Amino acid sequence: MTDRLAIDGGERTVPEGMVKNWPPHDERDRQAIMKVFDSDIFHGNSAPHAVEMQEKWAEYCGCKYALVTNSGTSALHMAVAAAGVLPGDEVITTAFSFWASAAAILHHCAIPVFVDIDPVYYTIDPAQIEDAITERTAAIMPVHIHGMPCDLDPIMEIARKHDLKVIHDACQAHGATYKGKRLGGIPFTTGFSTNRSKNLSSGEGGIFTTDDDDAYEHARRMREFGEVVPPSGQQREYNAFGLGWNYRPHEFVNAFMLSQFERFPENNAKRQEFARFLTEGLEEIPGVAGPAEPEWGEPVYFTYVVEFRPEEVGLDCSPAEMKAACVKALSAEGIGLGQWQTRPIPGQDVFQEKEGFGRGVPWTLNPDVEYDYRGEDYPRTLEFIASHSYLRGVYPPNDLELMQLYLDGFRKVMDNIDRVMEVADEE
Ligand SMILES: Cc1ncc(COP(=O)(O)O)c(C=O)c1O
């Protein structure tokens, strides 16, 4: 590798084709899926792979119940409903997440109320929650974003004080712990996603967890048309106890998830190893920084975020300008960085237009309340979005050799930052 930047025709730091995709899969996954064909059982809440996955996930999380679902959004919707949230209730959540967190609240005709993020860990800021509580508040939904466990003690304390339920969006945080306890095993209800990108991946899918008997019954019925469907071979009553959905997953998906689950702890450990290696390395490179680790728990690095700090390299520009120029230069070096969210959730059109079940619903369920969502009310979320980017490939089957090349590439780009900015200006 030369010191000449790849944007200036120098050799790229990371060779073409070196970065591998997630999730790693092999013959074991193929065999697991083929066995479903052989079994002739393709779906159902008592299908063998569904049952085994639920038992294993409940044991892993340290909770009483797990239910596999067809998506993280459906698992989260079940988590909202099973927590006893009713139409018109308000649920407090973070302004910074994938908007499915808020959609799961709207799916139950409840109303999301947003608060800004903590400036260090980018999860919901517990200090801002109490100000958002009204007599309509039923629950708090912390989102363990990027695999980072939220600071739960203060959230649980507020919930206890105001008699609110805590609904965890752990769609990005399989295996993350808070004070030694795994998410999924912390009250009251939790939703996980197992879509293609997630730490535990089944292509598409989700898992609901709880310790509470009533919440489990509620979620179980909700997953399957509002009915109680017995194991196959027994007569189904065909009597819905209440409104339900079809949130069942397919057995192919359950088999793939189970097969991936065998390697999941090892894969999570690799993510942590790579992330810590990068963070330590980036500490030595002025201009960029990796994420902080809290003393209260262990993150599982669903994504690895890099912060751009222009003042550290003597640049008189905004972090967004520096980021845009560096992302181009790093991309030429073979280092992929991407933008994820582009605005706070309340700044998205769905909240600006209040476009739900037709215009205005469910917000009109509280006719005396003017819900006014403004993206600019969440400055920390805006700052995070402007100054951070997501580094691709920080997971197995990639390895420490690639992580070292990433550090070499960051070093090269930061050592030549004036040239990087100049090239960006020329375009
Ligand atoms: C934080 C968060 N919540 C909810 C979801 C929704 O999960 P799914 O895509 O499986 O429905 C996702 C993932 O896409 C997510 O990242």
**Bridge partner residues of 143 (DSSP):** 169
Cα distance between residue 96 and residue 346, in whole Å: 9
Output the domain CATH number for residue 322. 3.90.1150.10
Ligand 1 centroid to Cα of residue 206, in Å, is 9
Q: Which atom in ligand 1 lies closest to the alpha carbon of residue 195?
A: 10
**What is the side-by-side strand order in the sheet with 388-391?**
288-289, 304-308, 388-391, 337-338
Is any ligand 1 atom within 6 A of the Cβ of residue 101? yes
Ligand 1 centroid to Cα of residue 202, in Å, is 13
Q: Which atom in ligand 1 lies closest to the alpha carbon of residue 143?
A: 1
Ligand 1 centroid to Cα of residue 133, in Å, is 25
In a domain, 360, yes or no: no
In a domain, 31, yes or no: yes
In a domain, 16, yes or no: yes
Q: What is the pLDDT of residue 2?
A: 60
Q: Are residues 272 and 191 part of one domain?
A: no
Cα distance between residue 395 and residue 403, in whole Å: 10
Q: Are residues 311 and 242 part of one domain?
A: no
Please name the residue whose Cα sits nearest to atom 7 of ligand 1. Answer: 72
Q: Choose the final residue of a domain: 261, 289, 307.
A: 261
Is any ligand 1 atom within 6 A of the Cβ of residue 143? yes
Q: Choose the final residue of a domain: 219, 243, 261.
A: 261
Is any ligand 1 atom within 6 A of the Cβ of residue 206? yes
Task: Pick from 143, 172, 250, 381 the residue to mutate for probing ligand 1's pocket: most ligand atoms within 8 Å of its CB.
Answer: 172
Q: Which residues contact 421 (CB under 8 A, 6 or more apart)?
A: 315, 317, 321, 322, 325
pTM exceeding the 0.75 threshold for the entire prediction: yes
Is any ligand 1 atom within 6 A of the Cβ of residue 191? no
Which structural domain, as residue segments, surrounds residue 228?
27-261
Tens-binned pLDDT, residue by residue, of the chain (427 aa):
568 999 999 999 999 999 999 999 999 999 999 999 999 999 889 999 999 999 999 999 999 999 999 999 999 999 999 999 999 999 999 999 999 999 999 999 999 999 999 999 999 999 999 999 999 999 999 999 999 999 999 999 999 999 999 999 999 999 999 999 999 999 999 999 999 999 999 999 999 999 999 999 999 999 999 999 998 889 999 999 999 999 999 999 999 999 999 999 999 999 999 999 999 999 999 999 999 999 999 999 999 999 999 999 999 999 999 999 999 999 999 999 999 999 999 999 999 999 999 999 999 999 999 999 999 999 999 999 999 999 999 999 999 999 999 999 999 999 999 999 999 998 7
Is any ligand 1 atom within 6 A of the Cβ of residue 172? yes
Ligand 1 centroid to Cα of residue 171, in Å, is 5
Is any ligand 1 atom within 6 A of the Cβ of residue 94? no
Is any ligand 1 atom within 6 A of the Cβ of residue 171? yes
Q: Are residues 34 and 13 part of one domain?
A: no
Q: Which atom in ligand 1 lies closest to the alpha carbon of residue 76?
A: 4
Q: Are residues 318 and 257 part of one domain?
A: no
Ligand 1 centroid to Cα of residue 100, in Å, is 6
SS3 per-residue string spanning 322-365: HHHHHHHHHHHCCCCEECCCCCCHHHCHHHHCCEECEECCCHHH
Cα distance between residue 146 and residue 121, in whole Å: 9
Cα distance between residue 164 and residue 159, in whole Å: 5
Q: What is the pLDDT of residue 421?
A: 98
∠ CA 412-417-423, nearest 5°, is 110
Q: Are residues 153 and 137 part of one domain?
A: yes
How long a stretch of residues is the chain? 427
Q: Which atom in ligand 1 lies closest to the alpha carbon of residue 205?
A: 10
Q: What is the pLDDT of residue 3?
A: 85
Exposure string (b/e) for 35-70, b if CB count within 10 Å is 16 or more?
Answer: ebeeeeeeebbebbbbebbbebbbebbbbebbbbbb
Q: What is the pLDDT of residue 1?
A: 52
**Bridge partner residues of 113 (DSSP):** 92
Other C-beta atoms within 10 Å of 352: how many?
Answer: 12
Q: What is the largest CA-CA distance in the chain?
A: 73
Helix (H, G, I), strand (E, B) or coil at 168: strand
Q: Which atom in ligand 1 lies closest to the alpha carbon of residue 145?
A: 1
Q: At what angle do helices 319-332 and 379-387 cross, to 10 degrees?
A: 30
Q: Are residues 241 and 109 part of one domain?
A: yes
Is any ligand 1 atom within 6 A of the Cβ of residue 195? yes
Ligand 1 centroid to Cα of residue 310, in Å, is 32
| Token reading at 321 | 């300008």
Other C-beta atoms within 10 Å of 294: how many?
Answer: 17
Ligand 1 centroid to Cα of residue 62, in Å, is 22
Is any ligand 1 atom within 6 A of the Cβ of residue 98? yes
Other C-beta atoms within 10 Å of 32: how many?
Answer: 19
Ligand 1 centroid to Cα of residue 360, in Å, is 24
Please name the residue whose Cα sits nearest to atom 9 of ligand 1. Answer: 72
Closest CA to 68 of 242, 194, 153: 194
Ligand 1 centroid to Cα of residue 148, in Å, is 15
Please name the residue whose Cα sits nearest to atom 10 of ligand 1. Answer: 72
Are residues 143 and 115 in contact, defined by beta-carbon separation less than 8 angstroms? no
Give the β-pairing of 165-169 and 189-193. Answer: parallel
Q: Are residues 314 and 204 part of one domain?
A: no
Phi/psi for 98 (5° steps) reads -70, 140
Ligand 1 centroid to Cα of residue 197, in Å, is 10
Q: Choose the final residue of a domain: 213, 241, 261.
A: 261
In a domain, 230, yes or no: yes
Task: Pick from 94, 123, 195 the residue to mutate for probing ligand 1's pocket: most ligand atoms within 8 Å of its CB.
Answer: 195
Are residues 118 and 110 in contact, defined by beta-carbon separation less than 8 angstroms? no
Is any ligand 1 atom within 6 A of the Cβ of residue 142? no
Please name the residue whose Cα sits nearest to atom 8 of ligand 1. Answer: 72
Q: Which residues contact 403 (CB under 8 A, 6 or more apart)?
A: 274, 277, 278, 281, 394
Number of domains in the chain: 2
Output the domain CATH number for residue 187. 3.40.640.10
Are residues 35 and 251 in contact, defined by beta-carbon separation less than 8 angstroms? no
